[in-house]
Structures are given as structure tokens and as C-alpha cells.
Amino acid sequence: MASLNRKIGIGTLWNSLELLLSKGSSTIFTIFLATLLTPKDFGLIAIIAVVFKLSHVLVNAGFTQALIRSKELTDGELSTAFWGNLGIAAGVYLVVFLLAGQIATFFDEPVLELMVQILGIGILVNAFRIVQTAILSRRMDFRSQMLATTTGTVVSGLVAIVLAYRGFGVWSLVAQMLTSQIVATGILWFSTGWLPDVSFNGSAFKRLFDFGKYLVIANVLNVAVKNSYALVIAKLFSPEIAGLYYFATKLTNLASQQLTQALQKSSFPALATLQDDNEQLRHKYRQIIQLSMFVMAPIMLMLMALADPVFDLLFDERWEGAVIYTQLLCVVGLLFPVHSLNINVLMVKGRSDLNLKLNLIKKGIQITLLVTSIPFGVLGIVIGQVIGSILSLVPNSYYTAKLINYGFKAQMLDVIKPVASAAVGAGGAWLVLQSGIPWLIISLLAAGFSGLITYLAASTVLGAEGARMVWHKVSGTVSKKLNRKVYGS
């Protein structure tokens, strides 16, 4: 168990470093690009991003998770997965290429046709990295993945800024997306040192696909419904407003989804070894949720409290409309770790069929809320999204309760302390903003610092388990270093 904790800890360290470098630089690039581009540019990207997220789900076919959780894996099976992914990618790209004109016509934006056709190359590029990612994850080699992702982010961000500065508009965002995939994929290939054989095993493909088929359908539903908000806003209102909404989701996702996925990616291969030990799985998942919420709750609630002055400091008046969307979507980001880690339990247990059933229920709730909220405008749509995220907590935890006896009530008890502590911290930050400090940047820094101190104090008073785990880890590390210095061992 100590070895497993070490693997998860090292994996989380590298994934957290990836988050800091890759997503931190991505945030900086996004801020720079927002000063050079318009909300409509981001709105056009929001439209076609849906197409390519769906395409990548289809191309992956659930093979990444299937390969990672396989107890034994041969080169023949890896080659089968590689050629299978590449064949699927070619078919998907052909369909996307042929539908590009219809997509442009539907949204009455002619430029979308060429954008879709060029960005479609990324579908093929993505197929080349699926097996490599699975190989590195099985090795628990998250350092190489961090290097690939970070390098791709930095190179593509620099390319986008240069193009945006030179007046290429939305094409700078297209170049950013494509360059990031190409650079990262190249580094992943170099890191694995693996090359596919010219072979294809039909029975191995069927085994992988049998696990992945339910996951593909569930992920298609998930991507389609999650991104339907931007599509509905772009179609019924305008690409400009869709750009404001997309920008708000991009900011909140940088924190919520990326941090959760870093923890998920590092823990999944290790926890897959415990798939037959329900007691240990429950114990580990409780720790993961407690720790992830300890980190996520203050980030999301502080962003909600400070969003208005942050936008005033970083962006011009064109982006003012994104403030309220950002604040509301912080609630969705706050709950994302709980949603995501419940799904992770199903993947570790190999129950992609239950994941599909669960997604059908959740998407039914979300689509109903989306349709009924349209008459209330964009703000009503975003509020409906928040309500859908809250309501989905109940079905999301149902199968986790059945599989490892970790249900809704137990999860909420683990979540409530860090959320309450973060609410106190965010309240403290907001009060500092109202104190009338004359310089905006000084006011924000003071608010952030006071909010953090208040949060840590509240976490200690309330006994948040995540705070205890962090303190135990830090104090243990410091104690070991002191002992080495004193006793030389």
C-alpha cells in the first residue's frame, strides 16, 4: 500500500507540475489573445471545437482506458489498437471534411467551412498519440506526458500570439489548436520508443472495443450535451455572445477540469490494481475527493468573489459580459471533481456499461433544463447548467454506492467542510475588496492573500480532512529532512 501511495503521489506531482506549467502558460496565452482578438473569434472556435471534441472521442474509442486497465498487454494488442484508431480517424475526418459546408451554412458563417477542414487534420494527429499515452500511463511515466503537453502548449501559444498580432484573427486560434497537437504527439512518440507492428488482431480489437463501446457512447453524449450550450447560444443569439460564454468556460475549466484530470490521470493506473479490493478502493477514493476538494473549493469560490475586478484588470470592456457567466460557472467547476471521480470508479471497475446508463440519466436532466431555459435568455441557460450540475450529483453517486459503498451522503460529508471553509475565505476576500484600497492590483493581492489565510484557518477549525492530509505530508517531509541533517541517515 505504501508503494501504491508513492506511485499516486509521484504521478500527482508530475501531473500537478504539468498543470502549473502547461495550464499556467495556457492561461497567460488566453489572456494575451483576448486583448488581440474579439469575442466573435472565440465564438467561432467554440462552434467548431464541439465538432473536434466529438471526433476525438470517436477516434479514441475508449481504447486508452481499456489499454491502461488491462492486466497484461502484448505488442500485438498495442499495434491492433494503433491501426484501429488510425482507421477510425481516417473515416471520421472524411465525414467531417464533407460536412464542413453544411456546418458553415447552418451557422451562417462561411469561414467555418475552411476552418473545419483544416482543423480536421488534428483528428488524424490525435490518432497517433492514443497508444503512446496509454503506454506512458501504464509505466506511470507522467514526466514525459508533462513535457509533451507543456511544450505543445508553449509553442502553440507563441505561434498564436504572433499570428494574432499580425492580424490573422481567428486563424491564430486555429493554428494554436493544431500546433499544440502536432508538437505534443511528436514528443510522445519520442518518449515511448515504441513502434507498431504491421499486424492486426481481430479478437484483440474486439476485446478492447467491447470495453470501449459503452464509454464512447457515454463520452459522445457527455461532449455533445456539455458543448450544446455554446452551440445553442451561437445559433439563437450570436457568435459574439457565444464567445463570451466560451471564454468564461475556458477560464473556469483551466482550473477545475485540468486539476481534476491531473489527479485522475495519475491515480487511475495505480487504482486499477485495486479493482478487486472494494474496501481499499473506497478508502483511496475518499482521500482523493477530500484532497481534490481542498484544492478546488478555494480556487473556484475565490474566482467567483474576485471575477469582476480580475476582468477589470486584465481585459477591456468587450469582455465585461463574460463576468457573470464566469461567476456562475464557478459552481459547475466546484462540483466537477465529484462528478469526474465517480465516473473514475466505474472505469477502474471496468463498468463502462454503467457509465453509459448514468450518462443517459444525467444528459436527460441537462437537456430538459437547457430546452426549458432558452426562453429566459443566455443568463437563464447558464443558470440551468448550474442547476443541472447540482441535480446530477445524486445519480452520479448511485453506482459508486453500489460498487464500493461510497454513496451520496458520504460524499457530501467529505465535500461540505472544504466548501464551507472556502466560502468563508471567499467572503473574507470580498470584504477586503470593499475596503476601498485605491490601487486595483494591490486590492486584488490583498483580497487574495486574506482569503487564503482565512480559508486555511477555517479548514483547521472545521477539521477538513484534505487540510489534515496536506499538513501530515508536509510535516512528515520536513521531519525526514531534519532527521537526515541531524543523524546523517
Query: 476: which residues sit within 8 A by CB, 6+ positions away?
Result: none
Buried/exposed code over 386-404 (b: 16+ C-beta within 10 A; e: otherwise):
bebbeebbebbbbbbeebb
pLDDT at 49: 83
- CA neighbor of 296 nearest in space, from 341, 352, 266: 341
Say if residues 66 and 211 touch (Cβ distance below 8 Å): yes
Burial status of residue 44 (CB atoms within 10 A of its CB: 0-12, 13-18, 19 or more): buried
How open is the CA angle 216-400-137, to the nearest 5 degrees? 50
Q: What is the pLDDT of residue 449?
A: 93
Cα atoms in the Cβ-side hemisphere of radius 13 Å centred on 9 = 11
Phi (first) and psi of residue 166, to 5 degrees: -85, 5
Picking from 135, 123, 117, 132, the residue whose alpha carbon sits closest to that of residue 58 is 123
- DSSP notation for 44-112: HHHHHHHHHHHHHHHHHTTHHHHHHH-SS--HHHHHHHHHHHHHHHHHHHHHHHHHHHHHHHHTT-THH
* Nearest Cα residue to 139 out of 282, 288, 281, 265: 265
Does the predicted model carry a pTM greater than 0.85?
no
Nearest-CA neighbor of 126 among 193, 177, 59?
59
How far apart are the C-alpha atoms of 130 and 145, rounded to whole Å?
12
d(CA 166, CA 164): 5
Predicted local distance difference test score (pLDDT) of residue 340: 82
State the residue for C-alpha cell 507498431. 196
Question: What b/e string do you get for 339-372 counting C-beta neighbours within 10 Å, with b at 16 or more?
Answer: bbbbbbbbbbbebbbbbbbbbeebbebbeebbee
The whole-angstrom separation of Cα 433 and Cα 431 is: 5
User: Tell me, what's the pLDDT at 62?
Assistant: 72
10-residue stretch averages of pLDDT, the chain, 489 residues long: 51 54 71 87 88 79 74 80 87 91 91 91 88 83 82 92 92 92 92 85 79 75 83 91 91 75 66 75 84 88 93 88 94 88 80 80 89 94 94 87 87 91 94 86 91 92 80 62 54
**pLDDT for 195:** 87
- Distance, in Å, from the CA atom of 10 to the CA atom of 12, rounded to the nearest integer, reads 5
Query: What is the reported pLDDT for 210?
Result: 76
DSSP 143-163: HHHHHHHHHHHHHHHHHHHHH
Distances (CA, A) of 346 to 340, 356, 469: 10, 10, 25
Sequence letter at residue 216: V
Q: Compute the residue count for the chain.
A: 489
CA distance 99 to 307: 39
Residue owning grid cell 437563464:
380
Amino acid identity of residue 195, one-letter, is L
Angle at the Cα of 286 from the Cα atoms of 285 and 292, rounded to 5 degrees = 85
Contact 131, 76 (CB under 8 A): no
